[in-house]
Structure 1
């Protein structure tokens, strides 16, 4: 049945309140308005940031809402004025928009478009309304995407057209892979022959290792507590892996001894304040670069003594790996299709929407990779 211009009824996983299991509900998805795109979701990865929003580690998230921001789908219909995509195109929704006109979009040194909803968590479209309703109640969106649903609506600045032959695994380019990979290539700008330390061996950490390897790092040290992840880290490019639990001294001292004073680059992919400080202190004092990727609680603060930086170290943050989303996501998909890197290592299992809460529990355990919901 032709659905253009009509309300679509479909299934979605709704977070009605914080720290509660998601509920599979029938929702209504309104047609896209001007400069909006309605997408039939094919697959969506489950990211740690989704869990952080559910537990309100991220501040000001609005309930009820539909989580999810790492997906691939097919354009079902478009609103007036949309020119970049058409019905039938395969696309990746973008949680970091790309308006092309704000200061950030026009700068080569920034990628956090001013129209992002990461900073404010309004959970609404640009006209301050939502396209989702359930049981007569409006449902907020998440990070301008909301992909735990069979259909979603996004602004045209939040969608990238990709290779129509791309498999479902490319959904992971929508967040996890691009974030870690880009942190090494774009944010840190890892140099050939350098030494790197990657703290946190999850999906983002593994992707960071790949970025370090492709950049030509000579030594890549993976740091994590789950030793069952070490073989995969080695396979992806780590030269060695260590666990803080195996030493009776601070791990930054161990790394300094291993690397003649500290690594050139360190990456914090776990979202823990203490690990962020450790990552900084693991770099070489004269020139080390630390990149923070993990999401910490809104109430936590990172305390750094100026002397840790005065000697020459630098501390950076990275959002979405520094990629200009609408321009770079299609290129990343093309690189994947050209076998420049793999994505299947990130996938723990594919699951139906009904098992999404099980996947959240696996993720919290720390032993699981990415789980992908298939629609």
Structure 2
């Protein structure tokens, strides 16, 4: 199957179609901007769990509420919103747990190829098209459940804060919320895409004294240093495994390591690179569906901690408005991650830039 993306004019449901299909606790919104994330590439390659084709990808975006169902109370037409690729229903046991940001409405628990009422709101030439994570931000209009959208400050520039829907919040939160990086600590980040560079920003904000960026693409080192990295290493230039190099550089290994690539080898290397007793490794990258990892249990026996993360550990509906406010207050500058801004008609060009390692984040404008 050719999974390259079709220009907007071919896929877009009309405004009239969307308005006629908003019911109950659903709402329709007009997307203004969407970011291209590696997760979308995983989807196109057929590596995303539970996805069904044909599908409208996209999960990182920002837009304006167009219409609401009669049961929607938290947003109203005309308000700016960020769609949430990881929902917060507010009712399940995880949502009610203050220490959790998981939600049982997530795609890990139930497929999100159709809306909760088991319908799709997309068609193309009379054929039904599936949703992606309910949000499908690569369409000018989309319909989502109320608990999969967050109202944000009306002053927010949608072409900038769209990154907060996934990439930036995931990486930044990995350092701030999941690892809880301490001032004066040492950190290693494997992978310098949009998520990995957001980890760099989070480590710097947390006061880490040494931030080591690891990638095989040297072209990303300048950006990493601009955002706070103190050292940059290309494993291909090393004579030893990267975990040994990092251990020698730091004495006993780093305090925190982050894997933002999604490869078995780098996940093990990241775990082995943090110190053997109190080191914390955060797994952010996505492996292909059904993948398994084999590891030496001694890596964990002495005390290392291996953690996973979803969307930076943020409770999405509660925290997304706060993240946008922090952006407006200039507490961080996620704009530095945007390397390309393209009209949606050039969506395939955006993916080629991603595959070639020539972009950090490409933002699509409708």
The reply to whether TM is greater than 0.5 is yes
Q: Is 2:217 the partner of 1:216? A: no
Q: Deviations over 1:115-169 (max 9, x none)?
A: 1224443400111111111111111100110010110000000010111111121
1:291 maps to 282
Name the SS for the 2:94 alignment partner.
helix
2:350 to 349, 356, 359: 359
- 1:9-158 mapped onto 2 (5 Å cutoff): 17=1, 19-24=2-7, 25-28=10-13, 29-30=17-18, 31-158=21-148
TM alignment of 1:233-248, pairs within 5 A: 233-248=224-239
Alignment of 1:156-167 (within 5 A): 156-167=146-157
Q: What's the secondary structure of 2:223's corresponding residue?
A: helix
Partners of 1:225 and 1:119 in 2: CA distance: 35
1:308 Cα offset (Å): 0.7
- Secondary structure at 1:331 match in 2: helix
Query: Taking structure 1 as the reference length, what is the TM-score of the superposition?
Result: 0.93
Deviation, structure 1 residue 109: 2.0
CA RMSD across the alignment:
1.1
Match of 2:167 in 1: 176
SS in 2 for 1:76: strand
> Deviation per CA, 1:194-248, whole angstroms, max 9, x where unpaired?
1100000110011001111111111110001111211111111111111101111
Distance 1:355 1:104 in 2: 39
For 1:271, the equivalent position in structure 2 comes to 262
Contact kept, 8 Å, 1:62 with 1:122, in 2: the verdict is no
Partner of 2:219: 228
Tell me which moved more, 146-155 or 295-304: 295-304
- Give the alignment partner of residue 244 of structure 2, picking from 229, 253, 264: 253
TM-score normalized with structure 2 length: 0.96
Q: Would you identify which runs of 4 or more consecutive aligned residues in structure 1 move more than 3 Å?
A: 118-122
Contact (CA 8 Å) 1:27, 1:135: kept in 2 or not? no
The aligned residue for residue 300 of structure 1 is 291
Indicate if the aligned counterparts of 2:84 and 2:150 stay in contact, CA closer than 8 A. Answer: yes
CA contact (8 A) 2:86 2:103 kept: yes
String of CA shifts for 1:281-336, please: whole Å, max 9, x gaps.
00000111000000111132111221110100010100000000001000000000
Partner of 1:4: none
How many residues are aligned here?
358
Distance 1:270 1:202 in 2: 8
Unaligned runs of 5+ in 2: none
Give the corresponding residue for 2:176.
Answer: 185
Q: Distance in 2 between matches of 1:194 and 1:182?
A: 17
| Matches of 1:196 and 1:26, distance apart in 2 | 44
CA distance in 1 between partners of 2:342 and 2:91 (Å) = 39
The residue aligned with 1:350 is: 341
**Which residue in the other structure is 1:11 paired with?**
none
Contact kept, 8 Å, 1:116 with 1:144, in 2: the verdict is no
Instruction: Find out whether 1:194 has 2:177 as its counterpart.
Output: no
Q: Shift of the alpha carbon at 1:343? A: 1.4
Corresponding residue SS for 2:268? helix
Give the C-alpha shift of residue 26 in structure 1.
4.1
Report if aligned partners of 1:117, 1:144 keep a CA contact under 8 Å in 2.
Answer: no
The CA deviation at 1:271 is: 0.7
Structure 2 contact 12–141 (Cα < 8 Å) conserved: no
180-189 or 101-110: bigger deviation: 101-110
- Does residue 339 (structure 1) correspond to residue 330 (structure 2)? The answer is yes
281 and 79 in structure 1: CA distance in 2 versus 1, 3 angstrom threshold: same
Q: Is the 8 A contact 1:62 1:121 kept in 2?
A: no
- Distance in 2 (CA, whole Å) between partners of 1:273 and 1:108 is 31
